[in-house]
């Protein structure tokens, strides 16, 4: 259990898995290569789901890789100690994941042809998912109640800071050819077409059987059973409560957790902070 965050340039990071030195080096020195594929998200947006899809597209639906190698080795986290080392040693096209806010992301990206996929999700669902995640794991400050976490989230006092700043920063990249903006909600509504959209963006054509396999093996039920993907094999210091990343896997769970007053207060802040962005960009209520 921990009381605070690891602070880097004014942004809060989890205290487990990352050190100040590695975050600093990842942000300032990491060289993104043309053939890299980077998955970016604010925590709890559906990153692991997207990563599983990417891995399956990469292996053309073959499940050997996702069933034998932990997800954090297949697609290392840029700002984590282990992930950073893995990435530096890795040859050829790399798949990597990060929660870094836009202003901290390695500047080498801007002169590369690397592809970035940013996945977003209804921030109220992110809030609820984060509440459970930080309650059940030891990587960061533990909230004592939904109300307390609600306040932290609104203030940006959660790992990786303000959701509003995160999405605003990354949204500025949305018209770039090498950036694909996705949402958890569209993946849920129409996973087949969204997977096709991703493979098209990556220039990796899948035949119908391969597409079927990606769809089936990245589904919530199958991922929940895959110990190489659901985080259950992480050490006890990460979580001692039989944690799995696959908690509920639905959209709209915030309705079961936030009071009417909290939802209204959230919407008010949302409207202020997201002013200027067309509503159609975001597929949530
Ligand atoms: S993390 O720790 O920040 O990387 O978390 P992240 O992977 O971004 O988000 C975790 C939430 O994604 C849900 N999830 C899925 N939903 C649908 N289908 C699949 N296959 C899937 N895999 C993970 C997971 O359940 C978390 O959401 P909640 O709302 O907590 O269930």
Atom of ligand 1 nearest to the CA of 97: 4
* Whole-number Å distance between alpha carbons of 32 and 263: 39
Residue 246 Cβ < 6 Å to ligand 1? yes
Sign of the Cα pseudo-torsion (212, 215, 217, 219, in order)? negative
Q: Domain coordinates of the chain in residue numbers?
A: 6-281
Q: Which CATH architecture group holds 6-281?
A: 3-Layer(aba) Sandwich (3.40)
Residue 79 Cβ < 6 Å to ligand 1? no
CA 137 to chain centre: 17
**Amino acid 1: pLDDT:** 44
CA distances from 194 to 67, 199, 219, 282 (A): 23, 9, 13, 15
Residue 119 Cβ < 6 Å to ligand 1? no
The protein residue with its alpha carbon nearest to ligand 1, atom 12, reads: 46
Residue 191 Cβ < 6 Å to ligand 1? no
Q: Could you tell me if 273 and 164 are in contact, meaning their C-beta atoms sit under 8 angstroms apart? A: yes
**Amino acid 242: pLDDT:** 78
ipTM of predicted complex:
0.99
Q: Could you tell me if 2 and 54 are in contact, meaning their C-beta atoms sit under 8 angstroms apart? A: no
Catalytic residue IDs = 99
* Whole-number Å distance between alpha carbons of 9 and 15: 15
**Amino acid 3: pLDDT:** 56
**Amino acid 170: pLDDT:** 97
Residue of 221, 245, 257 with the most ligand 1 atoms within 8 Å of its CB, for mutation? 245
**Amino acid 283: pLDDT:** 93
Q: Could you tell me if 156 and 42 are in contact, meaning their C-beta atoms sit under 8 angstroms apart? A: no
The protein residue with its alpha carbon nearest to ligand 1, atom 10, reads: 44
Residue 43 Cβ < 6 Å to ligand 1? yes
What is the mean pLDDT, run by run of 10 residues, along the chain of 285 residues? 80 93 96 96 97 97 96 96 95 94 96 97 98 91 95 97 97 95 97 97 96 98 93 80 88 97 97 93 89
* Whole-number Å distance between alpha carbons of 11 and 13: 7
* Whole-number Å distance between alpha carbons of 37 and 54: 9
């Amino acid at each position: 259990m921990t009381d605070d965050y690891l602070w880097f340039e004014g942004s809060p990071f989890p205290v487990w898995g990352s050190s100040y030195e590695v975050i600093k080096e990842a942000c300032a020195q990491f060289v993104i290569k043309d053939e890299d594929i980077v998955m970016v998200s604010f925590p709890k947006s559906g990153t692991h789901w997207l990563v599983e899809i990417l891995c399956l597209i990469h292996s053309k639906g073959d499940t050997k890789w996702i069933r034998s190698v932990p997800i954090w080795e297949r697609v290392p986290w840029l700002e984590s100690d282990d992930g950073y080392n893995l990435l530096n040693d890795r040859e050829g096209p790399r798949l990597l994941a990060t929660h870094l806010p836009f202003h901290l992301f390695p500047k080498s990206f801007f002169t590369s042809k690397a592809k970035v996929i940013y996945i977003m999700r209804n921030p109220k669902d992110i809030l609820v998912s984060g509440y459970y995640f930080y309650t059940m794991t030891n990587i960061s400050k533990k909230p004592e109640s939904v109300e307390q976490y609600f306040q932290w989230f609104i203030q940006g006092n959660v790992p990786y800071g303000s959701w509003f700043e995160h999405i605003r920063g990354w949204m500025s990249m949305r018209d770039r050819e090498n950036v694909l903006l996705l949402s958890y909600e569209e993946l849920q509504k129409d996973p087949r077409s969204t997977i096709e959209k991703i493979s098209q963006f990556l220039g990796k054509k899948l035949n119908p059987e391969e597409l079927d396999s990606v769809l089936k093996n990245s589904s919530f039920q199958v991922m929940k059973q895959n110990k190489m993907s659901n985080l259950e094999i992480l050490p006890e210091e990460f979580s001692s409560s039989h944690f799995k990343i696959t908690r509920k896997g639905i959209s709209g769970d915030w309705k079961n957790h936030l009071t009417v007053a909290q939802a209204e207060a959230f919407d008010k802040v949302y409207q202020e902070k997201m002013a200027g962005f067309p509503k159609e960009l975001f597929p949530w209520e």
